[in-house]
Amino acid sequence: MDETDSQITCADSSVDKLSHLKRNEVKSCPLPELHGADEMLPELNKSCLTNPDILRYSRQLVLPDLGVQGQLKLSKASVLVIGCGGLGCPVAQYLAASGIGRLGLLDYDVVEMSNLHRQVLHGENRLGMSKSVSVAKTLRKLNSAVVYLPYHISLNPENALQIIQQYDIIADCSDNVPTRYLVNDTCVLAGKPLVSASALRWEGQLTVYNYHQGPCYRCLFPKPPPSETVTNCADGGVLGIVPGIIGSLQALEVLKIASGMAPSYSGVLLMFDALEGRFRNIKIRGKKNDCAACSNPSETAILQDYEAFCGSSASDKCRMLRLLSRDERLSVEEYKRLLDDHVPHILMDVRPQPEVDICRLPHSIHIPLKGLEEKNEKWVSFLRTKIAELITAGNRTEKTVITICKLGNDSQIAVKILQDLFGKEDLFIAKDVQGGLMAWAENIDPMFPRY
């Protein structure tokens, strides 16, 4: 079947309108909601398996723990997958293949090239398309008996309860802390089990919240971590297979709950280390008596400002630190002028080595942020040598060090450390390049690689 004749149940005209919009356009235009938050969904009430069902699911039907009754329960169950990215793809794929009744697919974002190594339900022909629609289109070809409901929206405190209460089980496949708190609190309020997972670099985690008397996310994490300590896939990287593995396990937990079995990870945290090839199960604390969310669910307020609570955004792709004042920063245009005017300076690239191996500005020196943070003598004396060379070579005596990284976060931290190390010296100036090398690629040099 070709892309164009896929029978996604949402209005296909709205899908087409969305398909090739850029992310910002999608966010800013009034969206034709593919499935609105307030739309009531029909009940799933399959009472027996048809012959095609029996053939399709035969290999799992013969499993004594599942059987016909389990399969029928699956067919009557509905699951909301929040985030159609690295985790959401395998979760949705295995649930669809297993014969879940209804799959809600929620994501505000569109498919990008850097998604394809792990978000395996999208493809090159889907670039710019709504992720939720793309997943629905792919899965329609895998199992057309499942009802797919794509929501091309951002889950927020205004719509979360209306959507979540229409599903039996929730899979959190999102990638940011405000969304995790929002999903948790809403699941507590609506009384829904929440299968939650994360994947970053070579590691993955998985647990089930709010299942029977089990703990919720807030029982474990009453307060969010400091926003500057939170890394996402764009910052930290992720091996595509890791969310593939964790997402498959997430689907397994959902399937167990949906078919009437007990999940394995309620009150237990699975930690997967792909480098070591090791899975570890850690027993986690039970329900907290004074948990702000689940100790008294009817009182749980989900209308708090989750972004303010967490100090980070639920929709920005990149976290943006604001450590420096405007005059401690150079825009890429200002930095280009400084280069064109041959102003003596040191450009210090503070990214980790693997990123420098991908691309760098040829005149930069490389001192990784980690080396600076540890005040590593090797790097500090290397920088002192470079500053001495700058003073000897130039007619001017300003010791100007400009830091740069991928997006302009680590470069700000580097400026703070430099100010601490050299700030008392005469004529020492430290600034960073706002937006980093990706802003350089965007606004100055279109040939510079983006990653």
Ligand X SMILES: Nc1ncnc2c1ncn2[C@@H]1O[C@H](COP(=O)(O)OP(=O)(O)OP(=O)(O)O)[C@@H](O)[C@H]1O
What gap in Å lies between CA 20 and CA 3, rounded to an integer? 14
Q: Measured at CB, which residue is nearest to ligand X?
A: 85
Between residue 104 and residue 163, which ones bind ligand X under the rule CB under 6 A?
A: 106-109, 114-115, 131, 154-155
Is 235 marked within a binding site? no
CA 95 to chain centre: 20
* Active-site residue flag, 29: no
196 binds ligand X (CB under 6 A): no
Compute the least distance from the CB of residue 222 to Zn ion, in Å: 8
What gap in Å lies between CA 123 and CA 127, rounded to an integer? 7
* CA-based nearest residue to 202, from 241, 175, 173: 241
Compute the least distance from the CB of residue 370 to Zn ion, in Å: 35
The smaller minimum CB distance to ligand X, of residues 104 and 263, is found at 104
Residue 86: name its binding partner from ligand X, Zn ion, none (Cβ under 5 to 8 Å by kind): ligand X
Q: Which two tokens stand for residue 73?
A: 């329960």
Beta bridge partners of 329: 432
Between residue 220 and residue 249, which ones bind ligand X under the rule CB under 6 A?
A: 232-234
Residue 83: name its binding partner from Zn ion, ligand X, none (Cβ under 5 to 8 Å by kind): ligand X
Q: Which of 19, 93, 98, 179 is the binder for ligand X (CB under 6 A)?
A: 179
Stretch that binds ligand X, among 27-35, 64-72, 82-90, 348-356 (CB under 6 A): 82-90
Given 10, 84, 173, 233, which residue is catalytic? 233
Q: Strand locations in 163-210, DSSP E?
A: 169-172, 194-200, 203-209
Is 283 marked within a binding site? no
The smaller minimum CB distance to ligand X, of residues 56 and 180, is found at 180
Residue 294: name its binding partner from Zn ion, ligand X, none (Cβ under 5 to 8 Å by kind): Zn ion
Q: Which of 37, 57, 72, 83 is the binder for ligand X (CB under 6 A)?
A: 83
**DSSP codes joined into one string, 123-168:** -GGGTTSBHHHHHHHHHHHH-TTSEEEEE-S---TTTHHHHHTT-S
Compute the least distance from the CB of residue 184 to Zn ion, in Å: 8
Residue 216: name its binding partner from Zn ion, ligand X, none (Cβ under 5 to 8 Å by kind): Zn ion
What gap in Å lies between CA 103 and CA 148, rounded to an integer? 5
Helix axis angle for 131-142 and 88-98, nearest 10°, is: 30
Triad 214, 220, 224: Cα angle to 5°: 140
Compute the least distance from the CB of residue 159 to ligand X, in Å: 9
Residue 104: name its binding partner from ligand X, Zn ion, none (Cβ under 5 to 8 Å by kind): none
Beta bridge partners of 149: 104
Is 180 marked within a binding site? no
221 Cβ neighbours under 8 A, 6+ residues apart: none
Residue 35 three-state SS: coil
* Active-site residue flag, 89: no
Handedness of CA 62, 67, 70, 75 (dihedral sign): positive
DSSP letter at 311 equals T
- Sheet of 428-433: strand order equals 329-330, 428-433, 399-404, 346-349, 365-366
Between residue 300 and residue 319, which ones bind ligand X under the rule CB under 6 A?
A: 314, 317
* CA-based nearest residue to 107, from 70, 171, 73, 151: 151
Compute the least distance from the CB of residue 317 to ligand X, in Å: 5
Residues making contact with Zn ion (CB under 5 A): 216, 218-219, 291, 293-294
Compute the least distance from the CB of residue 104 to ligand X, in Å: 11
Catalytic sites, residue numbers: 233, 405
Contact residues for ligand X (CB under 6 A)?
83-86, 106-109, 114-115, 131, 154-155, 174-176, 179, 232-234, 314, 317
